[in-house]
Structure 1
Amino acid sequence: MRDIRNIKALGAAALAWALLIAASPGPSTGEQVADLLDANKPIEAFSLAQTKANEGDAEGQFALGWFYDNGEHMTADKAKAAGLYRKCADAGLSQCQWRLGVMLDTGEGVAEDPAAALALISKAAAQNNPQAQMSLAVMHANGRGTPVDYAKAMESYQAAAKAGQPHAFFGIGLLYLEGQGVAKDGETAAAWFSVANLLGDAQGKATSERLLAGQKNDVLDRVAAKANAIYAEYIGPLARPAPAAAPPAPKAP
């Protein structure tokens, strides 16, 4: 039986607008800003974002909003960030819709408005934005801006998990652990938490370690098998050990 600790792990995207620039056919504004940051040129990156945003470039508005939102190389200003995100959200950029939706849900820089947050995040999720799919799942699971709907939460968690979002695996694990919309199943929950752990999710790590501590080998084997199957379905083929070399043929006497 392959142990869950041997499942191949994947890294996470580094920059907030990685999804935005991934589909760009050429050097988009977001890509140029990211390149300048990678080259340790934050002043030039901010200047480019500001120039493009003032020209009405939606990606420039997102990048400039990101600077104000995160306080990168400057004092954070959530209200300015929200204003910039609203402009590029109106232009249809899913990253802007998602981030502004989160700010509306939590009241960061804007008045808290879960219903408006749900509408924006739903638009972003419909564009297959995995961060938005993750946020939408949480809103359905917790009844933020909408009645609790565990089936919709599961659907959105699964979509985000297929896109490789580590915390989506944790979210599905919670549904199984609590029996929310599915039959309560601690072993299946532990398997989902284990995959979240292997993908770098801190809550997945803490919860899987807690649930598996002191368990007998047969339980660990079942959880490992389920975790391997989940990983293979949602992330990709498992790493396989290289076959052992064949022993040399005996020499003729």
Structure 2
Amino acid sequence: MLIAMLVAQALAIPNDTPGHRAMQATICSGDTAKVQALALDLAGTGDPEGFIGLGWLEETAIPSVPTRAYAYYLTAAQRGSLRAQWKVGVMLDTGLGVPADSKAAAHWLRKAARQNLGAAWSSLGLLRQFGRGVPRDRVGARRAYFNAIRHGEPHGFAGIGSLYSSRSGRSEDYLRAVAWYRVAANHGDKIAREKLAVLPVLFPGEERDVSARATKIQRNHPITVAWDDGPCAPIP
């Protein structure tokens, strides 16, 4: 799906063009016929948002056609769309609609990350954390996740939580992980919410510890540009 812009305050929004705003509003209307008409119009003028819209239609069709979606996203990526570059990177890494190629995925993710797309930084952090397409590098992964947070991607918080949860069996690392997951969930991150839903209930002392840590994290790392890969409206 497209990355929907929710809030813009302090930092510049990557690729915030009239074409993107028009396409996003049309997608959020739920009218696929209008999405198709606008996408064809924009694509006809060479606007990458048109190819993104066509890719979105193929990806969300029933049944979906990921190979066609990938082709449209790749065209948009080649025309400079940061969102499409991120999407192509994710599809290459997961093998959705195209043979899996994590090295190629890292190439596209770097292109978008270098232009400050938070989602690309988050996905690049994942590759670095697990050594997919790039050398395994926990320090580099941590840096990428913090860059994701800085550029408005809540999943960066979940990435930091994942680094803590996989570091050792120490209870302190576990509580740190829960605090970072909780901040991510508070910002609407679905994966963090799913992780928290299956964790055991904390003891009162642990709950106080996690709450204090989460408050400190939110204070020290405020999100000033918020993006969400999916819903057209902020999650309450």
Using the size of structure 2 for normalisation, the TM-score is 0.79
For the pair 1:222 / 2:209, whether they are aligned, the reply is yes
Identify unmatched segments of 5+ residues in structure 1: 1-14, 238-253
Q: What per-residue deviation string (whole Å, max 9, x for no partner) do you get for residues 111-157 of structure 1?
A: 21111111001111111111111110111111110111101110111
- 2-side partners of 1:59 and 1:205: how far apart? 30
- 2-side partners of 1:126 and 1:191: how far apart? 28
- 1-side partners of 2:97 and 2:221: how far apart? 36
Given that 1:115 and 1:145 are in contact with CA atoms closer than 8 Å, whether structure 2 keeps it comes out as yes
For the pair 1:51 / 2:41, whether they are aligned, the reply is yes
Aligned length: 215
- Highest CA radius of gyration, 1 or 2? 1
Question: What secondary structure sits across from 1:185 in the alignment?
Answer: helix
- 1-side partners of 2:141 and 2:16: how far apart? 33
Aligned 1:1-80 pairs, distance under 5 A: 16-19=2-5, 28-71=18-61, 75-80=63-68
Question: What secondary structure sits across from 1:18 in the alignment?
Answer: strand
- 2-side partners of 1:177 and 1:152: how far apart? 17
Whichever structure has more strand as a proportion of its residues is 2
Which residue pairs with 2:120 in the alignment? 132
Which residue pairs with 2:153 in the alignment? 165
Q: What per-residue deviation string (whole Å, max 9, x for no partner) do you get for residues 156-204 of structure 1?
A: 1111123343322122112112228xxx722222211221232233443
Given that 1:104 and 1:110 are in contact with CA atoms closer than 8 Å, whether structure 2 keeps it comes out as yes
Given that 1:195 and 1:230 are in contact with CA atoms closer than 8 Å, whether structure 2 keeps it comes out as yes
Given that 1:30 and 1:63 are in contact with CA atoms closer than 8 Å, whether structure 2 keeps it comes out as no
- With over 3 angstroms needed to count, the CA separation of the structure-2 counterparts of 1:25 and 1:86, relative to structure 1, is closer
Amino acid paired to 1:78: P
- 2-side partners of 1:40 and 1:24: how far apart? 22
Q: What is the percent sequence identity of the aligned residues?
A: 31
- With over 3 angstroms needed to count, the CA separation of the structure-2 counterparts of 1:35 and 1:214, relative to structure 1, is closer
Identify unmatched segments of 5+ residues in structure 2: 6-12, 225-236
* RMSD of aligned Cα (Å): 2.7
Q: 1:155 aligns with which of 131, 143, 163?
A: 143
